[in-house]
Every structure is written in C-alpha cells, then in structure tokens.
Amino acid sequence: MKLQKGKLARLFSKYPPDSLLRPGLFETLIPSKQTHRSQHKNGVICIQGVPDKLYFLLFGLMRQQLKLHSDLGAELLVVRAISGAMGTGWLAYAKRSSVLAWWWSSQWERAYGPMMNGIAYRCAALFQPLDDLKDWFKSKSLWMAFKIREEDFSLVINGVEYGDLVIDSYLRFMPSPRFDANDPFVRQLIWQVLRDIRQAEKYFGEIKPKFYLSSYSTYVEHGVAVRVAMQQGVSVWTFGDLVRFGKRLSPQNVYHTTDCAHYRADFQHLDRQEERLAEAAEKLNLRLSGGIDPATSYMRVSAYGEKKSALPPDLKGAVVVFLHDFYDSPHIFPELVFCDFWRWICFTIETLQASGVTFYLKPHPNQIALSQAALTDLRAQYPGVKWLPPSVNNAQLAQEGIACGVTVYGTVAHELAYLGVPSVGCAQHPHHSFDFCRTAKTREEYKTMLESPGVLPVDKDEMRRQALMFYYMHNLHGTPEELALRQAFVQFWYACNIGEGKDAEVLSALQNLRDQKAFQTLMHDLVKSGEDNLDKAIGHE
C-alpha cells in the first residue's frame, strides 16, 4: 500500500522525484541575465528533453553557460513516446499514449523553469489525430516493404535511412533479443518514425535552430530528430560517449560514438612515439593487474580484480566468443554485418560447430537482467555448447593459450592483442584501422575468418605494439584540458549512475565539469557551430 501511495505521489508531483531537479539550480551555478523570448533576436537553440537526471543537469548547465556567450533562446524537444514503456500489452500502450507522455514529461519541463523559452515539439503529440491517422495508413506499406527485405533491412524515408533505429528500438522496447520484422510492433515503430519525421521536418526546417543538443543518436526517440536536423542543415551535437566529451555529427557520421578511423594514421604523425607507447603500456598493465586505468575509471571494481575462476582443461587452442548484451543498441558503429546480436551468435555457433573448431561462449559481464533469459534460450537451442563464467578475465584466457577471440565490436580486441591473441570482428569497430583484429564486411568473409581462427594477421610483437597505439589514441591522446574535461564528465556520469547518488556528490561533480577550461571552449565552439555550415567541421569528433 505504501508503495502504491509512493507511485501515486510521484505521478502527481510537480517535479521529478529528485531534489536536484528543480528550477533555479543552474542560476546558482552560473548566474546570468534572464531574458524574454521576444528578446532573442539571434534565434534559438534546441535541447533534447530526455527524462534522465544526467542529461537534465548537463543540458541545463550548458544552457545556462551559453547565455554568457550568445543571446539565444532555448526550446525543448520532448522525446518521450515509444520509450514510455517496455512491452506491447494494453498497459504499455497506455503508457506510450500522448496523454501520459505529456503528463510525465511535464514534470521535467517544469523543472527547467524559465530557462526554456518554449517547446519545440513533442514526439507523442497531442491534438494531431488527422496527421497521425495518415501516418498510420502510410506505415503499413512501409512495413510491408521493410519486412520482405529478409536480413538486409532498410527503411529510407525522404532520402534518410531509419531502419537501424527501428531495429534497435524493437530490441529494447519489445523487448526481444532477436529482431522480428513480422511483428506488428514494428509497424508501430515505423508509425512513430513517420510522426517524428513530420514534426522534425516542420520544426527544423522552419525554425532553423542554431544547433541541437542530444544525448544519443540511437533508437527512434534520439535518432530521428538528429538525422532530420542535419538534413535541414542544423548543427547537431551529442554527448553519449565517455571517450570524448561532445561530438559534432554529420550526415556521413551519424553515430554518437567516437570515430576511430584515423587512429593509426594520426599516431604515425605524433612525435615521441616510444614514450607514448610506454605510457600506454603502463596504464594498460595497471588495468590487467586489477587496477583502474583512465579507460575504466567509470567502473566501481576492475574486471581483473576479481578472484580467478576455474578454467576447463581444453582451452588451449580454443576460440572464445565474447557475447554482447542482446538488448543493447547494436547500431552504434557503421557496417554492422548482422542486424542484431542474436543472429550474430547463432551464425557464429553454427559456423564453428560445422568447422569442428573447439570454442567457448563467455557472457557479457555487465548485461542487463533480461539477458539471462536470452542466455537460457541460447543454451536450450545449442545444448552442446561450452560456456565460461562471466568473471573469467582476458589475462587468464591468454595464459591458457586460446587461439582467437570473437566479437562484433568489443574493446576486448585490443586487450587480447596486447596479450598476444588475435581477434575477429564484424563491424566498423574502434580497432578496424589496425591489423590485430581481422574485420569482416560480409557474412562470407566472417565465415571464412571463423573457419581459420589460428591465423595471425601480424606477429605478436606487432599486435602488442598496435594495441598500445590504439590504447594511447583512445584513452590518452589530447591536450591536458581535453583529457581533464573527459575525466570530469566520467566522474559526473559515475556520480549520477553508479555512485551513492547523494546531492552533494552529484553537484560537486557538476561544478567540476563547469570549471573545466575545455568546457568553456566547447561552449564557444557550440555557438560557432551554429553560425558555420556543416561543411566546416570543427573539433570534438
């Protein structure tokens, strides 16, 4: 009864149930002059209104800071729609309705207070029944064309691809480990894409905000607005990657993840290369010995600090397949060979079995609770497959003499390479410019690589050197100010998501982020990006 009363109280609360999510907080952090909407002669910026504490605080801080750089108004794009619920029953349908989406989102809108000068649009729009009906009828023909494409799913609308957003949203919100194009929920997702496109084209085409700030670029709720905004010539920045703070997207690179394509070439132009590799070796060895290095500073406990697990006797010469979280967004990098992780693992298992290769599956150590059911289904479908405990670390596997690691795009690849073990991937993963991970672009290439797991693409010394190149470029490269800003963002993320969540801890981390010199520089770059054309790309990519 108390729990129900608590839920009821939150439902009718004026603000979200967190004492920091209140109007006036940002004025205490960065005092600035309040202006009326009619005074914003320089135009407006658009900010994603996502019901998440971290992004509420981050975007609120950025909005307040930007007032010091330019007299711009700010409008909130309210994204809650499909993301309002998990599942497809009547209760989930009700939670995704325009009325409830408006009700829940209004708490977050009120929390911003006078910082926002209006609503750009709501993805779950009220009072547009005729337009929504037209989109619903149109969604049927698009769905029919979409589902007959078999594995090569594509949904191009007005010259822009949205199929990957539909797939990822299905996996997350159905929820399901495998994408099923025949499921009627897919039509509902396509319908939401059409609704979002209609409103986004109108808003970004007519209002032309100076730039749009978004958390991520995946899923329907994030990705549609991002892609339409860029199509309409609006500068888009995302803040969903802990590797770099802030990334300016382009129509050629719509992913919020860091673009690693130039890592190898860029390292070759650096001076003091041996010194930099030694620094990378020191940090990576710290991680492998159970410490927390810059790349894992967001973790509470090192994956290498746990007690060693018992290993099977036939690991020498075996292949280890590193599973991903089945419900996570697969499409965070280009050139994904499989549309979901379930198809990938089934293809991998069947290919290795047919080839007579000894292999083991290793579950993802940080998978969500739903993945346990998916693993149970996988065990039932392939009862003879061998499994490793999630706690087994890569140093143990390398010591036992495994032949190869298999992943879609995991960062496990550079750890294995440093330990003398090659890997196989099947997406444009962070390591694809290096040789230590053989990267397939088609299923045929992937099959061939799985059938020859013992192939060393380069000798072990070169694998080790290239692994350190990657580690340096991914984790240590940048000016001292840029690295300090990244670390401040990681600490803020940790305070919001993993730490005790106390107001003082979160507020201290937010203030530390505010005080970074590179944060102030980025605010200037944001204003500049709204004045430049997309052709004139600037940093933070």
CB 420 within 8 A of CB 463: yes
pLDDT at 11: 66
Q: Is the same domain home to 472 and 366? A: yes
pLDDT at 534: 37
Question: Helices (DSSP H) in 419-516: which residue ranges?
Answer: 443-451, 460-471, 480-497, 503-514
CA atoms of 252 and 121, how far apart (whole Å): 26
> Sorting pLDDT into bands at 50, 70 and 90, what band is 540?
very low
Q: Is the same domain home to 221 and 282? A: no
Domain that holds residue 363: 271-476
Secondary element (H or E) of residue 438: strand 437-439
pLDDT at 38: 44
> What pLDDT, in 10s, does the model give residues 147-174?
887 778 999 999 999 999 999 999 999 9
Q: Is the same domain home to 488 and 470? A: no
Mean pLDDT computed over 474-500: 93
> Sorting pLDDT into bands at 50, 70 and 90, what band is 72?
confident
Residue 148 tokens read as 């007959």
SS3 424: strand
Residue 335, sorted as left (phi over 0), alpha (psi -120 to 50) or beta, turns out to be left
> What pLDDT, in 10s, does the model give residues 96-118?
988 888 898 999 999 998 889 99
Secondary element (H or E) of residue 423: strand 423-425
Instruction: Please tell me the pTM assigned to this model.
Output: 0.92
Residue 406 tokens read as 């298999």
The mean predicted confidence, pLDDT, of the chain is 89
> What pLDDT, in 10s, does the model give residues 358-414?
999 999 877 677 888 899 999 999 999 999 988 888 999 999 999 999 999 988 999
Residue 342's CATH number? 3.40.50.2000
Q: Could you say which of 457, 476, 495 is where a domain stops?
A: 476
In a domain, 130, yes or no: yes
Q: Is the same domain home to 428 and 501? A: no
Cα 504 to chain center, whole Å?
A: 27
Mean pLDDT computed over 327-343: 94
Q: How many domains does the chain have?
A: 2
Residue (of 168, 263, 275) closest to 222 by Cα position? 168
pLDDT at 401: 95
In a domain, 78, yes or no: yes
Q: Tell how many helices (H) and how many strands (E) occur in the chain.
A: 20, 14
Separation in Å, CA 541 to CA 84, 216, 414, 533 = 31, 14, 21, 16
